[in-house]
Chain A
Amino acid sequence: DQQVKQNSPSLSVQEGRISILNCDYTNSMFDYFLWYKKYPAEGPTFLISISSIKDKNEDGRFTVFLNKSAKHLSLHIVPSQPGDSAVYFCAASAGGGSNYKLTFGKGTLLTVNP
Chain B
Amino acid sequence: DGGITQSPKYLFRKEGQNVTLSCEQNLNHDAMYWYRQDPGQGLRLIYYSQIVNDFQKGDIAEGYSVSREKKESFPLTVTSAQKNPTAFYLCASSISTFGRAQHFGDGTRLSIL
Chain A, 62-94, CB within 8 A of any chain B CB = 89, 91, 93
B2 in contact (CB, < 8 A)? no
Asked if B106 and A106 sit within 8 Å, CB to CB, the answer is no
Which residues of A are found within 8 Å of B9, using beta-carbon distances? 41
Query: Interface residues of A, CB < 8 Å — how many?
Result: 26
Closest to B30 in A: A100
Chain B's nearest CB lies how many Å from the CB of A107?
6
Partner of A46, one of B33, B96, B103: B103
Size bin of chain B's contact surface: 20 to 34
Which residues of A are found within 8 Å of B82, using beta-carbon distances? none
Asked if B43 and A46 sit within 8 Å, CB to CB, the answer is no
Asked if B106 and A41 sit within 8 Å, CB to CB, the answer is yes
Which residues of B are found within 8 Å of A91, using beta-carbon distances? 43
Closest to A93 in B: B100
Which residues of B are found within 8 Å of A44, using beta-carbon distances? 43, 90, 104
Asked if B102 and A102 sit within 8 Å, CB to CB, the answer is yes
Report if A43-B104 is in contact (Cβ < 8 Å); known contacts: A100-B31, A100-B48, A101-B45. yes
Asked if B104 and A98 sit within 8 Å, CB to CB, the answer is no
